[in-house]
Structure 1
Amino acid sequence: MTSRFRDGTPPTPASRTALLLVNLGTPDAATPRAVRRYLGQFLHDYRVVDLTRWLWCPILHGVILPLRARKVARNYARVWTAQGSPLLVLSQELAQALQAQLPEFDVRLAMRYGKPAVSETLQALQARGVERVLVLPLYPQYSASTVASAHDAVMAELAQWRRLPELRLINDYHRDEGWLDALEASVENFWDLHGRGEKLLISFHGLPERFVRAGDPYQQQCETGARLLAQRLGLGEDQWQLTYQSRFGREPWLGPATDHTLAALAKAGVKTVDVVCPGFAVDCLETLEEIAIANADGFRQAGGETLRYIPALNAQPAHVAALAHLARRHASGWPQ
């Protein structure tokens, strides 16, 4: 008799090999309560904030969450869609497009914080009889605060399983030729439609400097990817700049800061700036609100005229093809 999985579907190769996409996460709603719940989970992660818990938890619950939840909820409300959170909706579209490109995989999406949770997604794969799992965190550059944290969540769930699947983990893809091709084409397509600004900022999410001193390769990978993109676009050194956004707290973070750089450019007489954010696989709060709204407002207030945000790769065909090729390459040689 042909065996079946617990949900009644017959076993197929696609059901036995899973591609698990992991993105950062999002609140369930653009409300202070939902945002507070999400930020509480996010900022409790020791990979994100590595202070001792006895010191950090009172600050987090007594000061930061009560003060920030309402403000962050207002920011989310500015970009929330009828379908829900942009990050979740666009991540789902990317997962669906990858499933169409990868019939040999069971492609699933999970969020490190919020829903769908990594644990619940892995349990659903277990119920289908998965034997192999390839984990692809949707961060082109490696940082312990993102990629390692995603792997932590996978390992924490698998630690409870009696029978483990074969497991492969992808750490980064900042030098991947297919990803760079997609990024280059996205910028050039934008310029073909809208013209080229006076300056291109290549903005990455920030990171505390001490993380880099401790051995995190994130800064080096951001610099390498930005330089490769600028070379592909044929930009001179005076036509582009690498910056870092989304600082949090008072300790020194990687710089130069995106918002400070934009203000300086405006005061120097630059009127039009283009911004691309290669660290984000899909658009989210940090791109749609922080860059395209808040930083655009700040640039104008400092004397500039126009900040044009170049959208993330999202589910663009070239991006889907690049990630599909990446998955197949990392799964090659896996016994069937």
Structure 2
Amino acid sequence: MHTAFRPAPTATPNEDAGRTGVLLVNLGTPDAPTPAAVRRYLAEFLHDHRVVDLTRWLWCPVLHFIILPLRSPKVAKNYASIWTPEGSPLLALSQRLVNGVARALPGVDVRLAMRYGNPSVPDVMRAMEADGCRRFVVLPLYPQYAASTSASSHDAVMREVMRWRRQPELRLIQDYHRDAGWVAAVAESIRAHWAAKGRGDRLLMSFHGIPQRFVAGGDPYAAQCRASAEAIAAALGLGENEWALTFQSRFGREPWLQPYTDKTLEQWGRERAGTVDVVCPGFAVDCLETLEEIAAENAHAYVEAGGTALRYVPALNDDAAHVDALAALLRRHLAGWSDA
């Protein structure tokens, strides 16, 4: 007697596959604008070999016995000057941005983590895993790739999943330095600034610096900053002589990427360059380096050197165009995961 053939049942989604999560990672911030909190934060930050790649036996004594005792009180004052009722601007603005992206990606678990400080990458990833996430897209909030930022964020993710018995599927986004939506959002923010305040005499695009030897060793950061600036200038219809690119926030005595922002502004001040508009396209949200270093410290130095005024163009923060650009970027990287 022959057994009748029965087709296999229709496949059903694998409930064990779990949820999809998006982790947006920013640099980090102290928990409070106090010397003790800043010291804890700087210690974690400056211990990262991606940030300072000196031999540990040489670097650690210098860090703990010279740099941290001397810099922590000064940096704490700088943080205090920009602290808000919501706390750290970087943390509050990053969370607003992440909230906007989450609303734009229904069905996806979107959360914020900080590479240094809180909420930490391990804590956030463990919470997402406990809530059923089995697939992660990781987006460091740095448009331009650098080993000391983007790669360090990926390091933190990989170190965490190395501890997991059941490792998740991972997609790591390296950069979005020429993403059309992001470029358009930056260009529009500059246009809005000009529409509200009039166009300045010069436009400066200031990016965070890194040591020159990092680039000599193969880091694509400088080339990506140049590509970003050129794309933004093209979107604004600017000629080569209508804007300039510089690098800020250098630390230590070795050569960093040049030209330096502060030195350029001092020279422009001596030249009586008039009103300068400064935008910082490498920063997703406003933070110490934009609100204090550019909008306060460098603005004062520029006027002291003879310039008329320095006007800072705010970061994209949680602007709708920024949210839309990041959401569109993430949708492309989420493609193929059914629940996303």
Aligned partner of residue 244 in structure 2, secondary structure: strand
> Which of 61, 64, 77 in structure 2 is aligned with 1:61?
64
Secondary structure of 1:41's partner?
Answer: helix
Cα deviations by residue, 1:74-131 (Å, 9 ceiling, x for unpaired): 0001100011000000000001111111112100000000000000000001111111
Match of 2:310 among 301, 307, 311: 307
Which amino acid counterpart does residue 120 of structure 2 have in structure 1? A
| TM-score in terms of structure 1 length | 0.95
Choose from 102, 127, 136 the match for 1:99: 102
Q: Distance in 2 between matches of 1:314 and 1:121?
A: 21
Q: CA deviation at 1:15?
A: 7.2
1:73 alignment partner in structure 2:
76
Partner of 2:199: 196
Aligned equivalents of 2:175, 2:16: Cα separation in 1: 26
Q: Is 1:240 aligned to residue 250 of structure 2?
A: no
**2:137 is aligned with 1:134:** yes
Q: Match of 2:311, as an amino acid?
A: R
Residues 272 and 141 of structure 1: is their aligned pair in 2 closer, same or farther, counting only changes over 3 Å?
same
Partner of residue 274 from structure 2, selected from 263, 271, 275: 271
C-alpha offsets along residues 2-60 of structure 1, whole Å, 9 cap, x if unaligned? xxxxxxxxx99997110100000000000000000000000000000000100000000
Inter-partner Cα distance in structure 1 for 2:130 and 2:232: 42
Amino acid at match of 2:222: Q
Structure 1 residue 276: Cα displacement: 0.2
**Superposition deviation, residue 266 in structure 1:** 1.1
For 1:233 and 1:18, how far apart are their aligned partners in 2? 35
1:21 to 8, 24, 34: 24
1:123 aligns with 2:116: no
| Structure 1, unaligned runs of 5 or more | 1-10
**Alignment RMSD:** 1.5
Deviations 1:126-174 (A, max 9, x none): 1111111000000000000000000000011100000011110000000
Q: 1:192 to 1:15 in 2, by over 3 A?
A: farther
Q: Is the 8 A contact 2:272 2:308 kept in 1?
A: no
Alignment match of 1:151 (pick from 150, 154, 160): 154
Is the CA contact (8 Å cut-off) linking 1:142 and 1:172 kept in structure 2? yes
- Alignment of 1:298 with 2:301, yes or no, is yes
Deviation at 1:265, TM superposition (A): 0.7
Aligned length: 326
Question: Does structure 1 residue 210 correspond to structure 2 residue 213?
Answer: yes
Question: Which residue number in structure 2 is paired with residue 262 of structure 1?
Answer: 265
* Rg comparison, structure with higher value: 2
Moved more, 135-144 or 229-238: 229-238
What does the per-residue CA deviation read over 1:259-292, in whole Å, with 9 as the maximum and x for residues that have no partner?
1000111111211000000000000000000000
Tell me, in whole angstroms, the C-alpha distance in 2 between the residues paired with 1:54 and 1:242: 37
Report the TM-score when normalising by structure 2: 0.94
> Is the contact between residue 187 and residue 236 of structure 2 (CA under 8 Å) also seen in structure 1?
yes
Mapped to 1, the partners of 2:63 and 2:17 lie a distance apart of 43
